[in-house]
Chain A
Amino acid sequence: MAYQIGLYLIYGIAAQGIGFLWGKTGVLPLGQALFFGIAAYVTAITLRAEGNLFLNLALAAIVLAVIAGFAFVLAALVFRGRNESGPYFSLITLALVMIAEQVAGTATSLTGGFNGMSGFNSLGNLDPFGGFYYVIVAATVAVSLFLFILNRLPVNLIAKAVLDNEPRMQLLGFPTHMIKGAAFAFSAMIAALAGGLFASHQGIVTPTSTGFALSAELVILTAVGGRFHVLGPLIGAVIVGWASTELRDSFPYWELLMAVVFILVVLKAPGGISELFEAAFRRVRPKTPTSAAPAVTAPETRFDKTPRPLRFEDVRLKIGVVRILNAVSFDTPATGIISVIGPNGAGKTSALNTITGNLSVTGGRIMLGEVRIDSRPPHTALSNGIGRKLQVPSVFFSLSVSENLAIAMMAGRLRMSDLFKPSTFQWRSKSLSDVLGHPSVPLKEEMTDPVEYLPQGHRQFLEYAMTVAAEPSILLLDEPCAGLSPDETALMTKLVQSYQSETSRLVIVIEHDMSIVEAISDKVLVLHLGKVLAFDDYDKVRQNPQVQAVYSGGTK
């Protein structure tokens, strides 16, 4: 019965690639048959030329590398400068596959046109339903095993974190467009592998193999089978393939039935069949929590940690017609705690956004020591030593506390090889241990809890811990005490002060509460209407008549 299942397994492999990309990073490829088809055509051309097996396999490796390179560059270029996965990329892949299908149909001399390219034996002259069937099964097992292993490695966590909160990943120094590019390249390689198997198995390649319909079908198989599980797409391919061949000839309304089932899966079981299987399985054998592995001292972060002053030189920022920053200039010391105050709309958060590159300045420049840092992509901020905590806690809500911290520990430290080492999960730095080890910090009892159920205050501490984990040389904190109880506020101030005193680095805090400002500040920067009103120590700022005019209402 090999002729029944072989084709479904091939589609299943391609769908596993889609499942990896879509389920983990949230990027939905609508043109995966592009890679499937190109590989199939190249395989067909090679097999017709009847080279030897070794040469064929060497060529296959080259083709896979070229396809991966193309896919990586495409996705990295499209996603560069963005922090979401919108429909744009999906539509680009759709247009690409439509071009490929048209070219394959028109370039008759190269591809055989609509009638396809045929008349070749399978790889190594194996029987497509005998020996070659076992090649397909072996490939399926190999791809599945590889995906299972990836699931247990840091790359998996990084991919999930990209899906969960891309802006945060960028502030942690991860170039998310490259990560998505790599994930897309990986899925493209899997699709290409499946395409090569397909050509060898089928003995014919036609434009439908690189077409829109096949691309859509692969997505459907992935969705029905379940994109969050390694075997989901495979299960989808086998079940849907088997059901449709069985029903196609016996049940005239099978397409209607498939449509209804498909809609129901999307609405009621977004995780697909595999999620239902897994839920049933978990009822019989609940997941046993794994005990935490011992911590490993993390390697040093890889950015310059010498204290450097931050200098704004005539910085201007305009969005549309609104002038947010209007010739802001100041020069901080290299260490200490600077508080930024000012009424709402003064441009405090925008100023931090220009430092991290979330906003590009429209005039002037920002210098860190001798390095110009403005208008760079946010993911490069950390490599200049800039760490940032946002106003509304920005953490990975679908992940657990320990997973959040593991990601944060990788920030600024990760090398390519660490991506594939499980020990990376256990990294701990002194700054993080200091926060977690503090008796009043609540996080250590909640390590396995999903962050979405954490109270607001705990999220603030989590994000703070994640920000200092990388031991940034400049720590930017945007209202770290917002939403905290008085006790928690006191704790947060103490944590910030001890971080600064232990590392003698620069901390910039936006704060409204004047008592906190008074307690922690070495200097205070007052912004008003996008301009610097004063920049001095607390007492001088307090006596400044202009500041008093702005704050005529009181201390808050």
Chain B
Amino acid sequence: MSSVLLLNLAWQISTLALVALGLAIVFGKLRIMNMAHGEFVMIGAYAPVITSMLGLPGWLQLPVCLVTVGPVAFVLERTIIRHLYGRMFDSLLATWGIAILLREIVELIFGRGYQSVSPPIAGTVCVFGADYPAYRIAVIIGILLGFIGLYWWNTRSKTGTRIKAMVGNPNLAEAIGINTARLSAGAFVFGCCTAGLAGLILAPTVRIEPMMGLDYLIRSFFALVVGGLGSLEGLGIGSGIIAGTQTFLGAVASQTYGYLAVLTLSILFLWLKPNGVRSSSR
């Protein structure tokens, strides 16, 4: 296996895990089948476009990203999503509508055209004897550190347990003093913000346009169900299987076979291991 293939695997797996992280919270914990997840990635990817349009310095990209994604997610949670807890298929339908809504709104503001964003780090570096884009190396390392931090926090924090308690029995959770409205809104907004962050990070390496979100949605769903809902390890394993299969088969056979293999694999996992390779519940 060539070192470029290894780096490609690392890049694809880590970025898929990052994109799917928000969905892991929203779908895995809140049980909202958020079909608008990709649209939050899309909005995040527009953050650098906004800063350069307004002539703001580059370091404001992250705040701009959070300030655009966060309130949008919060308003949607309070007006629409909060009616959908415990109604999984309804959540799928309503968020499909939300996805169209967000695409149309972004299109009204920025137009349908493609936007382009320059990476903050240009050029390639030599890693394991392969020339690889420096920005990608930085992102891989960043995501890895981020997930280690998240894992550490997750094992210590009670937030995950509280969310699980809330979804399992909202009335009881309320009775033992969990503010369910605040917790669910917080989890949803956090999930969407990580999606936006993923969009911001991916922006210099992909096309940016209102329809881009769909690319990320279905892969994220498959990564989650293959890995198993509700655990960080599951997210990592699922991303590894989905992105790994696509990248590996794309390299040794063809992209079409890679794509078909990912779908076939997803079907097999959904059929034979519906709770994923790793699962926190059950």
B233 interfacial by beta-carbon distance below 8 Å? no
What residues of chain A lie closer than 8 Å to B90, measured between beta carbons? Answer: 266, 270
Known: A102-B260, A263-B80, A267-B83. Is A220-B93 also a contact (CB below 8 A)? yes
- Determine the chain A residues whose CB is within 8 A of the CB of B266 once the complex forms: 91-92, 95
Among B93, B105, B266, the one with the most A-chain Cβ atoms within 10 Å of its Cβ is B93
Contact with A along B254-272 (1 / 0, CB 8 A): 0010011001101100110
A95 close to B101 (CB less than 8 A): no
Chain B residue at minimal CB-CB distance from A224: B93
Report yes or no: A88 in contact with B225, Cβ–Cβ below 8 A.
yes
Chain B 118-141, CB within 8 Å of chain A: the 1/0 string? 000000000000000000000000
CB atoms of A92 and B104 under 8 A apart: no
A259 contacts B by Cβ under 8 Å: yes
B97 within 8 A of A: yes
Q: Nearest chain A CB to B29's CB is how many angstroms away?
A: 14
Q: Which of A1-35 contact B (CB under 8 A)?
A: 22, 28
Is B249 at the interface (CB under 8 A from chain A)?
no
Does B96 lie at the interface of the complex (its beta carbon under 8 Å from any beta carbon of A)? yes
In the complex where A78-B271, A88-B270 touch, is A258 in contact with B89 (Cβ < 8 A)?
no
Please encode chain B, from 46 to 75, with 1 for each CB lying within 8 Å of some chain A CB and 0 for all others: 000000000000000000000000000000
| Chain B contact surface mostly | helix
Assess whether B94 is in contact with A266, with CB atoms less than 8 Å apart: yes
B274 adjacent to chain A (CB < 8 Å): yes
User: Cα distance A77–B271 when bound, in Å?
Assistant: 8
**A135 to B270 alpha-carbon distance, docked (Å):** 39
CB distance from B59 to the nearest CB of A (A): 34
Contact A216 B96 (CB under 8 A): yes
Q: List 24 A-B contacts (CB under 8 A).
A: A28-B92, A78-B270, A82-B274, A87-B33, A91-B270, A92-B266, A92-B271, A95-B267, A95-B270, A96-B263, A99-B263, A106-B256, A220-B96, A223-B93, A256-B100, A256-B105, A259-B98, A259-B101, A260-B101, A262-B93, A263-B80, A267-B80, A267-B84, A270-B90
A94 CB–B CB distance under 8 Å: yes
- Is A304 engaged at the interface, CB distance under 8 Å to the other chain? no
- Partner of B256 from the list A90, A91, A102 (CB cut-off 8 Å) is A102
Closest chain B residue, CB of each to CB of A222: B93
Annotate A245-262 by CB proximity to B: 1 below 8 A, 0 otherwise.
000000001011011101
Residue of B whose beta carbon sits closest to that of A255: B104
**Closest approach, in angstroms, between the C-beta of A224 and any C-beta of chain B?**
9
The reply on A197 being an interface residue by CB < 8 A is no
Chain A residues within CB distance 8 Å of chain B: 22, 28, 77-78, 82, 86-92, 94-96, 98-99, 102-103, 106, 216, 219-220, 223, 253, 255-256, 258-260, 262-263, 266-267, 270
**A216 to B97 alpha-carbon distance, docked (Å):** 11
Distance in angstroms between the alpha carbons of A496 and B84 in the assembled complex:
43
A258: which B residues are within 8 A, CB to CB?
Answer: 100
Q: Are A259 and B88 in contact (CB under 8 A)?
A: no
- Which residues of chain A come closer than 8 Å to B188, judged between CB atoms? none
- Asked whether, in the complex, the Cβ of B264 is within 8 Å of the Cβ of A99, the reply is yes
Q: Chain A contact residues: over half helix, strand or loop, or mixed?
A: helix
How many residues of chain B are within 8 Å of chain A by beta carbon? 31
Known: A92-B266, A263-B97. 11 other contacts (CB 8 A): A87-B92, A90-B92, A91-B221, A91-B222, A94-B218, A98-B263, A99-B263, A259-B98, A259-B100, A263-B80, A263-B101
Residue of A nearest to B88 (CB): A87
Which A residue sits closest to B256, measured CB to CB?
Answer: A106
Q: Are A91 and B260 in contact (CB under 8 A)?
A: no
B104 with A86: CB separation less than 8 A: no
B267 / chain A contacts, CB cutoff of 8 Å: 92, 95-96
Q: How far is the CB of A353 from chain B (nearest CB, A)?
A: 16
Question: Considering the complex, which residues of chain B in the window 209-267 have a beta carbon less than 8 Å from any beta carbon of chain A?
Answer: 218, 221-222, 225, 256, 259-260, 263-264, 266-267
CA distance A124 to B107 in the complex (A): 46
Complex Cα distance A270/B89, Å?
11
Chain B residues lying within 8 Å of A270, measured Cβ to Cβ, are: 90
Q: How far is the CA of A106 from the CA of B255 in the complex (A)?
A: 12
Shortest C-beta distance, A325 to chain B (Å), equals: 20
Contact A259 B104 (CB under 8 A): yes
Whether A263 touches B225, Cβ cut-off 8 Å, given contacts A96-B267, A99-B263, A255-B104, is no
Q: What's the least CB distance linking A201 to chain B, in Å?
A: 27
Within 8 A of A (CB), among B8-35: 33
Contacts of A103 in B (CB 8 A): 260
Q: How far is the CB of A15 from chain B (nearest CB, A)?
A: 14
Closest 6 CB pairs of A and B: A259-B100, A263-B97, A262-B97, A266-B94, A259-B101, A88-B274
Distance A420 CA – B241 CA, assembled complex (angstroms): 47
> Chain B residues with Cβ under 8 A from A263's Cβ?
80, 94, 97-98, 101
Point out the residues of chain B lying under 8 angstroms from A77, CB to CB.
271
Smallest Cβ-Cβ distance to A261: which chain B residue: B97
Closest chain B residue, CB of each to CB of A96? B267
Q: Which of A77, A91, A94, A270 has the most CB of B within 10 A?
A: A91
Complex alpha-carbon distance, A150 and B92, angstroms: 28
A residues near B101, Cβ cutoff 8 Å: 256, 259-260, 263
How distant is the Cα of A88 from the Cα of B229 in the complex, in angstroms? 12
Q: Is the CB of A86 within 8 A of B260?
A: no
Pick from B92, B97, B263: contact of A95, CB under 8 Å: B263
CB proximity of B278 to chain A, nearest CB, Å: 15
Report the minimum CB–CB distance from A68 to chain B (whole Å).
Answer: 20
Least CB distance from B20 to A in Å reads 14
CA distance A253 to B94 in the complex (A): 19
Q: Are B96 and A262 in contact (CB under 8 A)?
A: yes
Do residues A91 and B225 form an inter-chain contact, with CB atoms below 8 A?
yes
Task: Say how far B113's CB is from chain A's closest CB, in angstroms.
Answer: 17
A106 to B258, CA, bound (A): 14
In the bound assembly, the distance between CA atoms of A89 and B88 in angstroms comes to 13
A258–B218 CA distance with the chains assembled, in angstroms: 23
| Assembled-state Cα–Cα distance A78/B92 (Å) | 21
B165 to chain A, nearest CB (A): 20
Min CB–CB distance B241 → chain A (angstroms): 14
Q: How far is the CA of A56 from the CA of B259 in the complex (A)?
A: 35
Shortest Cβ distance from A100 into B: residue = B263
Residues in A with CB closer than 8 Å to B225 are: 87-88, 91
Residue numbers in A under 8 Å from B93 (CB-CB): 219-220, 223, 262, 266
Q: Establish whether residues A259 and B97, one from each chain, have CB atoms under 8 Å apart when the complex forms.
A: yes
A220–B263 alpha-carbon span in the complex (Å):
23
CB B208 to nearest CB in A, in angstroms, measures 20
Q: How far is the CA of A94 from the CA of B33 in the complex (A)?
A: 14
A22 to chain B: closest residue by CB: B89
Knowing A86-B274, A92-B271, A262-B97 are in contact, say whether A253-B80 is a contact too (CB < 8 A). no
> A219 CA to B89 CA in the complex, in Å?
11
The winner among A28, A102, A259, A260 for most chain B CB atoms within 10 A is: A259
* Chain A residues closer than 8 Å to B84, beta-carbon distance: 267
| A86 CA / B225 CA spacing, docked (Å) | 12
Q: How far is the CA of A88 from the CA of B100 in the complex (A)?
A: 24
Cβ distance B28 to chain A, nearest Cβ, rounded Å = 11
B97–A266 touching, CB < 8 Å: yes
